């Protein structure tokens, strides 16, 4: 098959768009800004979900489901929250259609107007905290550790598949606690889980940090985030965990009686990751030949392609391939035996490269004679001839190596593209000519942050959790600073 992908070096944005479509991950729908996640793309999401869900449950969380719709007035109850979301809400105003009097199609029935308009949830803090009010009376009812897998809608004007869509799929955790410290611990625990997931499963090295005030979630006192670096040198926020303080408890009057009999407002957190992670996965690792998927999230980990001229060879190879598939299945390795007779091996090789299958096994008649197969790695493109005997272990080990190699490569890229600067000139030079993360001193004011953003399009991605105390001066204002923060242009 002809891939026809643009090269990353020539047009990174176009490369991404084309890759998402050609690898059958997703496409645009007839509804503006809403995507269709195709089976291959969705199966990556399922792998992500399964892993994250296990991690949430291991830390004591349960899943639940809250309504898609939020009464309009709820949004206004937390001042910052409504400010953050009102401008991108899909609004339901009617509940019925009727036949058009001209006999053509249907129209909205004006008699079926809702008394109060409903918002399609952009996030569920308001409807959930309104519910928590009834679930919490005493400290015995706390903590509430709840997660929801759901679709949400934010009416974005400029959308891109996976990265920014009007509707997206995500999980949103919403927890309620008796003490501030417990809520803070939960916030940190969840950003650590996200970080572990990104690094161990997505093979994506991330920086953990906290957001500056301007970049905080609308309604939070503190937002923790993980930030990854894409191959074009732009940052991508891959997950956030918010310490909500008592903001939503106050907005929705959620109080509890403590052990000592005193009443207090509950402390809250919320945290989420979305189908955006699929965008990050693609952008971080893939190449001009197509997707490069880390084995732990690849829907197909191994593909077997038979190479034959005669029907007899085909049958003999199929026998070996099916045995191999069965024995790998026992090791929970997912295998596709591509025995289609409608396509040639070269076409198949290209297709599975495009789709990012980590390991390809080719078996020809000579291999049968020699008791070998050809093993090809997607990440390094290395090929080697391997004995069939004992190959299970070789495959298992190679998949582990691929997982590590993809991570190491992304990490080396990030190291190369993280720059420490001390002047605004250097700062601008890097953002214009090299991109990547820029570590610099900042005076801590929103004003400076805004100016820098205006002048360079770079934003503060985060104040890294491991940032050291270091006396310095703000690159923009020259005012004193005691910590470097991380700037970048971002998705």
Among 31, 326, 404, 446, binds a second copy (CB under 8 A): 31
| Residue 383 found at the interface with a second copy (CB under 8 A) | no
Tell me how far, at minimum, the Cβ of 182 lies from a second copy, in Å.
19
Chain positions 339 to 358 lying near a second copy, rule: CB under 8 A, are 342
Chain positions 154 to 193 lying near a second copy, rule: CB under 8 A, are 155, 167, 169
- Cβ-contact 273, 239 below 8 angstroms: yes
Write the DSSP string, 445-462: -HHHHHHHHHHH--EEEE
Chain positions 88 to 147 lying near a second copy, rule: CB under 8 A, are 88-99, 104-106, 108, 117-120, 127, 130-131, 140, 146
Tell me how far, at minimum, the Cβ of 321 lies from a second copy, in Å.
19
Mask for 255-294, x = binds a second copy (CB under 8 A): ----------------------------------------
| Helix axes of 180-200 and 39-58: crossing angle, nearest 10 degrees | 140
Tokens of 197: 């997931």
**Identity of the residue, 62 or 137, whose beta carbon is nearer to a second copy in the bound complex:** 62
**Identity of the residue, 96 or 434, whose beta carbon is nearer to a second copy in the bound complex:** 96
Tell me how far, at minimum, the Cβ of 104 lies from a second copy, in Å.
8
Give the other-Cβ count within 10 Å of 145's Cβ. 18
Q: Please list, in sequence order, all residues whose beta carbon lies within 8 angstroms of the beta carbon of residue 147, skipping any fewer than 6 positions away.
A: 53, 56, 61, 62, 63, 64, 171, 172, 173, 174
In this structure, the strands spanning 267-274 and 235-245 are antiparallel
Among 7, 14, 60, 67, binds a second copy (CB under 8 A): 67
Tell me how far, at minimum, the Cβ of 361 lies from a second copy, in Å.
23
Q: How far apart are CA 125 and CA 249, in angstroms?
A: 10
**Residue 190 host element (H or E):** helix 180-200
Among 4, 30, 111, 466, binds a second copy (CB under 8 A): 30
Q: How far apart are CA 223 and CA 270, in angstroms?
A: 9
Tell me how far, at minimum, the Cβ of 130 lies from a second copy, in Å.
6
**Identity of the residue, 131 or 398, whose beta carbon is nearer to a second copy in the bound complex:** 131
Among 13, 65, 323, 381, binds a second copy (CB under 8 A): 65
Dihedrals phi, psi of 70, to nearest 5 degrees: -125, 125
**Identity of the residue, 162 or 194, whose beta carbon is nearer to a second copy in the bound complex:** 162
Q: Please list, in sequence order, all residues whose beta carbon lies within 8 angstroms of the beta carbon of residue 346, skipping any fewer than 6 positions away.
A: none
Write the DSSP string, 369-425: HHTEEEEEETTT--EEEEESTTHHHHHHHHHHHHHHHHHHHHHHHHHHTEEE-SSHH
Among 15, 56, 74, 476, binds a second copy (CB under 8 A): 74
Q: How many residues bind a second copy (CB under 8 A)?
A: 63
CA-based torsion, 208, 214, 218, 219: positive or negative: positive
**Identity of the residue, 69 or 347, whose beta carbon is nearer to a second copy in the bound complex:** 69
Tokens of 476: 């923009």
Q: Both ends of the chain: CA-CA distance in Å? A: 31
Among 3, 18, 69, 182, binds a second copy (CB under 8 A): 69
Among 17, 51, 59, 76, binds a second copy (CB under 8 A): 76
Q: Which residues bind a second copy (CB under 8 A)?
A: 29-31, 34-39, 42-43, 45-46, 62-76, 82, 86-99, 104-106, 108, 117-120, 127, 130-131, 140, 146, 150-151, 153, 155, 167, 169, 342
């Amino acid at each position: 098959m002809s891939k026809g992908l643009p090269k990353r070096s020539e047009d990174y944005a176009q490369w991404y768009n084309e890759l998402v479509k050609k690898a059958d991950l997703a496409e645009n729908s007839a509804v503006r800004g809403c995507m269709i996640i195709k089976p291959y793309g969705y199966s990556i999401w399922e792998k992500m979900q399964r892993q994250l869900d296990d991690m949430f449950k291991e830390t004591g969380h349960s899943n639940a489901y809250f309504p898609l719709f939020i009464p309009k007035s709820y949004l206004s109850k937390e001042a910052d929250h409504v400010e953050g979301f009102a401008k991108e809400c899909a609004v339901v105003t009617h509940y019925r259609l009727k036949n058009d009097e001209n006999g053509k199609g249907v129209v909205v029935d004006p008699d079926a107007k809702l008394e109060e308009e409903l918002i399609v949830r952009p996030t569920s803090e308001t409807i959930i905290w309104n519910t928590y009010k009834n679930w919490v009376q005493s400290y015995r009812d706390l903590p509430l550790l709840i997660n929801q897998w759901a679709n949400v809608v934010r009416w974005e004007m400029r959308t891109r598949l996976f990265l920014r869509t009007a509707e997206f799929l995500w999980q949103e955790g919403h927890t309620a606690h008796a003490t501030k410290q417990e809520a803070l611990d939960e916030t940190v625990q969840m950003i650590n889980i996200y970080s572990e997931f990104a690094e161990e499963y997505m093979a994506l090295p991330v920086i953990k940090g906290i957001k500056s005030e301007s970049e905080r979630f609308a309604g939070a006192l503190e937002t923790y985030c993980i930030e990854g670096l894409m191959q074009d040198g732009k940052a991508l926020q891959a997950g956030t965990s918010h310490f909500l303080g008592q903001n939503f408890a106050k907005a929705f009057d959620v109080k509890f009686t403590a052990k000592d009999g005193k009443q207090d407002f509950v402390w809250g957190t919320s945290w989420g990751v979305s189908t955006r992670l699929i965008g990050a996965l693609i952008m971080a690792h893939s190449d001009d030949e197509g997707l490069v998927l880390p084995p732990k999230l690849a829907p197909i980990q191994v593909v077997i392609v038979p190479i034959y001229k005669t029907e007899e060879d085909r049958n003999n190879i199929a026998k070996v391939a099916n045995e191999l598939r069965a024995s790998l299945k026992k090791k929970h390795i997912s295998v596709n035996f591509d025995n289609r007779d409608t396509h040639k091996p070269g076409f198949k090789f290209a297709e599975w490269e495009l789709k990012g299958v980590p390991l390809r096994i080719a078996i020809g008649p000579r291999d049968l004679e020699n008791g070998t197969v050809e093993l090809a790695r997607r990440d390094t493109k290395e090929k080697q001839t391997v004995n069939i005997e004992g190959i299970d272990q070789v495959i298992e080990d190679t998949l582990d190596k691929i997982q590590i190699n993809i991570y190491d490569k992304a990490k080396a890229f990030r190291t190369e593209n993280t720059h420490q600067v001390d002047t605004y000139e250097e700062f601008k030079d890097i953002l214009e000519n090299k991109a990547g993360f820029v570590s610099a001193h900042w005076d801590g004011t929103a004003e400076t942050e805004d100016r820098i953003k205006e002048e360079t399009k770079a934003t503060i991605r985060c104040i890294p959790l491991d940032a050291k105390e270091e006396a310095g001066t703000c690159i923009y204002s020259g005012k004193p600073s005691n910590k470097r923060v991380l700037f970048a242009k971002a998705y």
